[in-house]
């Protein structure tokens, strides 16, 4: 894989403690980026940060709940204190819960889903945009889901949040047009992470929910490895994405995947 193309850049990766976020953080650190990891589980992000430092990367862990505006400010301040700038934001943290029919869903849990999947990316973007404009450089990547355009019974909050995130990307891209800051979206497809385990753990007995398909793709070994998605994220925030703004990239797009494989060597 070619050189350290992100040398000296600073990347904030939300949800960096496991799954897609941990793999993306490792990929960006290996490319030379200084990485700021955040999630609620301090142990998980500290462990990832320690692994990246052992591999001669530069990484810090800033624990907290990104639904809290003060935590989001602290994440950005920590990035500036430690590394002096913010070049890349990967809005990756997400929750799937509640997985229940709408009539049974707990309002607080529903609201928390929207706060994590939609409002937190807004908060983080709002905090970093002035810095990125001052620097004359910025790459924002929102990790969305097919659930943004494919309704999934039982996942009304998640689907609504991801659909909202996609429109947020569109509006932001329009506002950023002509600047040196870009925003794009990744649909990662189905990836072998704790979130898929969460879906498979739901007891659908006596409900209208049907998770058979999720069990089947798992049983058939069709879930993607997070490291494959991390390569796509690296491409999307790296030099290859220079001219891309307001675009929606799908991990299942074979032509794009081939281009990424070619570009990353
Ligand atoms: P995951 O393994 O469950 O990881 C989610 C990460 O987000 C964890 O590090 C989690 O850490 C963090 N997080 C959740 N809520 C948070 C909050 N309020 N504040 C701070 N951190 C929070 O899930 P994943 O599959 O890697 O998901 C990553 C992204 O990909 C999500 O946006 C998800 O919607 C999207 N996605 C995944 C799939 C898939 O098949 N896996 C498919 C489509 C889209 P803590 O719990 O410690 O906070």
Indicate if the pLDDT at residue 108 is higher than 70.
yes
Can you tell me which atom of ligand 1 is nearest the CA of 117? 32
d(CA 29, CA 61): 13
Q: What is the mean pLDDT of residues 124-134?
A: 98
Q: Under CATH, to which class is 10-191+225-252 assigned?
A: alpha beta
pLDDT at 168: 99
Question: Do 264 and 257 meet the contact criterion of CB atoms below 8 Å apart?
Answer: no
d(CA 154, CA 12): 31
Q: Two tokens at 224?
A: 């993607």
What confidence score (pLDDT) does residue 1 get?
Answer: 43
Cβ atoms within 10 Å of 12's Cβ, excluding its own:
28
The ranges assigned to domains in the chain are: 10-191+225-252
Specify the ligand 1 atom closest to the Cα of 115.
18
Please say if the pLDDT value at position 20 is more than 80: yes
Ligand 1 pocket list (CB less than 6 A): 14-15, 17-21, 39-41, 44, 65-67, 92-95, 116, 143, 145, 188, 190-191, 193-196
**Nearest CA among 90, 170, 76, 85 for reference residue 126:** 76
The predicted-structure confidence for 145-172, as pLDDT tens digits, reads as follows 999 999 999 999 999 999 999 999 999 9
Cis peptide before 54 (omega within 30 of 0): no
Q: Which residues are catalytic?
A: 158
Residues 6 or more apart whose CB falls under 8 angstroms from that of 236 comprise 139, 141, 184, 186, 244, 249
- In this prediction, residues 6-16 reach a mean pLDDT of 98
This prediction has a pTM of 0.98
Structure tokens at 220: 């058939």
pLDDT at 68 over 60: yes
pLDDT of residue 3: 73
Distances (CA, A) of 256 to 159, 169, 253: 25, 20, 5
* Beta carbons within 10 angstroms of residue 45's beta carbon: 28
Pocket-testing residue among 13, 15, 99, ligand 1, by greatest number of atoms within 8 A of Cβ = 15
Distances (CA, A) of 179 to 17, 85, 233: 32, 18, 21
């Amino acid at each position: 894989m070619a050189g350290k193309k992100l040398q000296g850049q600073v990347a904030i990766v939300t949800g960096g403690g496991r799954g897609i976020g941990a793999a993306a953080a490792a990929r960006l650190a290996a490319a030379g980026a200084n990485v700021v990891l955040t999630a609620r589980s301090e142990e998980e992000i500290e462990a990832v940060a320690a692994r990246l430092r052992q591999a001669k990367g530069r990484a810090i862990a800033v624990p907290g709940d990104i639904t809290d505006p003060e935590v989001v400010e602290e994440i950005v301040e920590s990035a500036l204190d430690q590394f002096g700038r913010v070049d890349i934001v990967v809005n990756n943290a997400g929750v799937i819960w509640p997985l229940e029919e709408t009539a049974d869903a707990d309002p607080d849990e529903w609201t928390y889903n929207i706060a994590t999947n939609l409002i937190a990316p807004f908060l983080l973007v709002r905090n970093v945009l002035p810095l990125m404009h001052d620097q004359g450089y910025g790459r924002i990547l929102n990790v969305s889901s097919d659930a943004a355009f494919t309704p999934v019974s039982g996942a009304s909050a998640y689907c609504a949040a991801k659909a909202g995130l996609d429109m947020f990307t569109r509006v932001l891209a329009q506002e950023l047009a002509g600047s040196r800051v870009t925003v794009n979206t990744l649909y990662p497809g189905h990836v072998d992470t704790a979130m898929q385990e969460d879906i498979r753990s739901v007891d659908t007995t006596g409900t209208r929910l049907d998770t058979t398909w999720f069990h089947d793709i798992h049983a058939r070994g069709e879930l993607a490895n997070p490291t494959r998605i991390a390569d796509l994220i690296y491409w999307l925030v790296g030099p290859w994405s220079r001219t891309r703004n307001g675009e929606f990239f799908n991990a299942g797009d074979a032509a794009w995947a081939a281009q990424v494989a070619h570009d990353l060597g």
